[in-house]
Amino acid sequence: MIPSQARHRRQAANTPRGDKIRSTVTLMAAQVVNLVSILIITHLYAPSEFGDYSTIFAVATVVGGVSALRLDLAVTIADGTDTYLLKRSACRLNIAFGVAATLVDIVWRLWSHHSADLGVALALGAVTATLGVSTTQVYICVRDRQYRMIAWSKLAQAAVQAGAQIGVGLVAPTATALLLASAAGYAASIMMLRRASAVQPSRARTREVLLRHRSFVLASAPASLINSLSLNLPLFVAAGTAGSVATANLALALRVGALPSALLGQALMPLLFGEIAYRLRSDPRTAARSYDKSLAGLAAVGFVSLSVLSIGVYYLAPLILGTSWSGVGLFLLLLLPYMIGQFAVNPLSQTLNAAGWNRSQFVWDASRFLAIIAAFIPVLRGWVGLHTGVLLFSLAMLVAYAAHVLLARAALKKAKASPKPIADQPSPDRSPEHVPA
């Protein structure tokens, strides 16, 4: 092979397309690790312990997911001079919320006349903080299109979590052990992303930077909190009305149903959303076409994969996992409409924020949350059982995702009408002084 041909092939191997393919394969490998760990964990941990863990982890997800007050998301469209201060502020908030979660857990247990379990409180704080910092660093890498590093960090996270959960499960299979193992996985991801997400210090004043991006704090952060509550509300309702065993079956159904989304949809999220954010910064006229192609592909793959998975789990779960997990299959069938909508829309769910429609995202999240509450009111009042409530929740979520698609396409159509990058143009939700510099 002559030198010019070798050089050409090396350049082709390093193109963004090749990088995306390798990153996607790595992310899929991470989800395979998660799938294998679930099969082992269900045999090591009792359903009651897994149910308690799922409830506490849901709290950590809600708090940790909003702990940066969406300054992490602001990084993806911010000017380079603001990136350092946004990252530093976000990480400090992640750690502060983790400490607060520990203190609130201790105070709540004492106030409700329960014995304060310091181990659970510390584990909750650790998961909350590490999850938040890891998410912040992922968004930094999304901005820089470092997809390969994100993929390897997710694989390391999955491997460490799986190894820790299985290893501890052989000795002390408790909910606290599962929480600490999850925190260890996020910590591994943080260590890998630490160098990749490094940014240059800035002389800008923190107050000025935060004021430029206050729409993310005032609109996107509340929307993110409502979104997390919406996704975890079924577990909270199950824990309060049906006990830890039913909660465990529902939690496992949600986790198994989310595997295709994580394997393909969420694995592609940094790639798909990263490209949309990049196009909005550089050439908004191409962002709508990128969104439509991604949505169509995700919807088709999600419908087929989730339908096959739901039917298979319904018949095979009692045989593979044991009779104590026999309720997983029925819950998964009831959740099928929601899972298909989640698979298609969730990887692109930050499109409204990226396009500057922060308030529209907040209104959508608030409306969806109210619809979910309405779906579970009959369960809380004792009029229907948990299974009926889960079906109503699933249908409400499907309708909400369809509404989000309409809003996202309207936002991208608005961006397409202007030749300016999104960071240089006002949006319906932001006056010119709100636009990031």
Report how far residue 373's alpha carbon sits from residue 398's, in angstroms, rounded to the nearest whole number: 15
Contact between residue 149 and residue 270 where contact means Cβ atoms under 8 Å apart = no
- pLDDT tens-digit map of 165-224: 999 999 989 999 999 999 999 999 999 998 766 666 766 677 888 888 888 888 788 878
Other residues' Cβ atoms within 10 Å of the Cβ of residue 176: 21
List all residues 6 or more positions away from 371 whose beta carbon is below 8 Å from its beta carbon.
Answer: 396, 399, 400
Nearest to 188 by CA among 131, 143, 255, 148: 131
Residues 6+ apart with CB under 8 A from 16: 145
Classify residue 14 by burial, with Cβ atoms within 10 Å: 0-12, 13-18, 19+. Answer: exposed
Burial class (CB in 10 A: 0-12, 13-18, 19+), 372: buried
For position 375, what pLDDT does the model report?
94
What is the SS3 assignment for 247? helix
**Closest by Cα among 215, 216, 204 to 433:** 215
Contact predicate 20/294, CB 8 Å: no
Which pTM was predicted? 0.75
User: How high is the pLDDT of residue 1?
Assistant: 40
Q: What one-letter code names the amino acid at 216?
A: F
Alpha helices by DSSP H, listed for 213-286, are 214-215, 221-241, 243-260, 266-282
Distance in angstroms (rounded) separating the CA atoms of residues 31 and 267: 8
Question: Looking at residue 422, what DSSP letter applies?
Answer: G
Per-residue pLDDT at 96: 97
Give 181-185's long-range contacts (Cβ < 8 A, gap of 24+): 182/57, 182/127, 183/123, 183/126, 183/127, 183/130, 184/160, 185/156, 185/157, 185/158, 185/159, 185/160, 185/161
| DSSP label at residue 69 | T
Specify whether the CB–CB gap between 415 and 282 falls below 8 A.
no
pLDDT score, position 432 = 27
Residue 431 CB neighbour total at 10 angstroms: 9
Question: What was the pLDDT predicted at 199?
Answer: 65
- Predicted pLDDT at 198: 63
Rounded Cα–Cα distance for residues 161 and 222 (Å): 29
Cβ atoms 280, 425 nearer than 8 A: no
CB neighbour list of residue 316: distance below 8 Å, 6 or more residues apart = 329
Q: If 0-12 CB within 10 Å is exposed, 13-18 middle and 19+ buried, where does residue 9 land?
A: exposed
Phi, psi of 248 (to 5 degrees): -65, -45
Residue environment code for 73-85, b if the CB has 16+ CB neighbours within 10 A, otherwise e: bbbbbbeeebbbb
pLDDT under 50: residue ranges of the chain: 1-15, 422-437
| Ranges of H-type helices in 144-174 | 147-169
